[in-house]
Amino acid sequence: MGIEALAYSVALPHLPLVVGRNAPWWAVGLLFGGYSVMQFVAIGPIGRLAERHGVRRVTAACLVGTAVGLMMTALSTNYWILLGGRLVDGVSAGTVVVVTTSVLARVPRAEWTHTLGLLSGVRGTAGLIGILATAGVGVAIGDPVVGLRTMAWIGTGLVGASLVLVPRLPSLAYAPLTTINTPIGTVTRYRLISHFGAQAAQAGLLISAPGVGAAVASVKVGFYCPAAAIIGLAVGQALVSSRAERSATIRTLMIGVLTLGLVGIPFPATVVAGFAVAGVAIGSLAPRLQAALIRERMADGISAVGANVLAGRGAVAGQVAGPMIGYAALSWSPSMAAVSVGLFVLLSNLVGPQPEVPTE
């Protein structure tokens, strides 16, 4: 999980700054949206391949694919090659579903929100390390193109080094995915839409952060905003989400926290803090809705892997919609980018009945 997040984050915030020089903001959104589209396509087949050929082989193959995507980013700043690198990396990220399923199989369902929050925290921490390292390189070098290439090569080396850990992975057996196309129940559909909204809000907040920071204040601030968003999201996911699941008071409080954060985003003096504060609120929502969706889908009679595949696809759909709509809104103004994030959160809270807290 950490390697996947690190490989994703080393492209931030240099990639938007490099592409944004000569292309409209929607083209930047397409780069990150393309990554998510390929991840969406690959999730189901990768789950089946892991069952058929083993977790170790599939994970090793995906790590190689991640390295190839980073090498493409390092070798050229041509838009189409950068897009190709994002697409290859997106296919390789499909292993997230396999990892998530294997972890959830080892904890009670009542702890799934907390566990998903911790997993997200691991990804957030790795992403933060990548963001901070990238920002440090960018400030030191002063050239986004050189910074992007440097971090992509470093990421390639780290992914290659992680291959030595693959033989240590446990040999995992999953139930067949023959029930993956079981009809989705009404409540499950509500859960899926809510999960989509939360994931879109997360992705929209994070991916639009460099562009918003640069537009509101400066390129330097554009380096800091993604780090602030990741810190906020990690705190919300790992520390607040399980508490919010059990407390209506905390859930109500998070609405106020979100409003405060979004109001601060369009202003130079508060843009960094705004991303951090909004991240806490959104991060507290996402794991809770993801766990509720997985539980409800399994109640439909589908396997654990199939339930996680649906959750993964819902997440990826949100990760496509959030950045693309966020950057399209940024074409109008930073305020509209903040509003787009708020609308996704609103969607996740208004659709269907609120999930119940499991007691088993």
Residue-wise pLDDT for 250-266, tens only, equals 999 999 999 999 999 99
Residue 205 resides in a domain: yes
Residue 357 resides in a domain: no
Counting beta carbons within 10 angstroms of the beta carbon of residue 219, is it exposed (0 to 12), middle (13 to 18) or buried (19 or more)? middle
Residue 341 resides in a domain: yes
pLDDT of residue 340: 93
First to last CA, the chain: 27
Counting beta carbons within 10 angstroms of the beta carbon of residue 71, is it exposed (0 to 12), middle (13 to 18) or buried (19 or more)? middle
The mean pLDDT value of the chain amounts to: 83
pLDDT of residue 358: 63
pLDDT band at 178 (very low <50, low <70, confident <90, very high): very low
Highest mean pLDDT among 136-150, 179-193, 340-354: 340-354
- Which pTM was predicted? 0.78
Q: Is 294 within 8 Å of 104 (Cβ atoms)? A: yes
Residue 358 resides in a domain: no
Average pLDDT over residues 106-121: 86
Q: Is 348 within 8 Å of 251 (Cβ atoms)? A: no
pLDDT band at 143 (very low <50, low <70, confident <90, very high): confident
At residue 36's C-alpha, the angle toward residues 347 and 169, to 5°, is 115
Q: Is 146 within 8 Å of 154 (Cβ atoms)? A: no
Residue 359 resides in a domain: no
Average pLDDT over residues 24-46: 80
Average pLDDT over residues 325-350: 90
Please count the structural domains in the chain: 1
Average pLDDT over residues 163-177: 65
pLDDT of residue 285: 92
Average pLDDT over residues 8-21: 71
**Token digits for 279?**
């991240």
- Domain holding 229, by residue range, is 2-350
Q: What share of the chain is helix, strand, coil (3-state, %, to 5)?
A: 80, 0, 20
Q: Is 310 within 8 Å of 293 (Cβ atoms)? A: yes
**What is residue 213's DSSP assignment?**
H
Residue 38 resides in a domain: yes
pLDDT of residue 336: 93
% of the chain surpassing 70 pLDDT: 91
Residue 360 resides in a domain: no
Rounded-to-integer distance, Cα 25 and Cα 286, Å: 26
Q: In this structure, what CATH number is given to the domain that contains residue 346?
A: 1.20.1250.20
Residue 37 resides in a domain: yes
% of the chain surpassing 90 pLDDT: 26
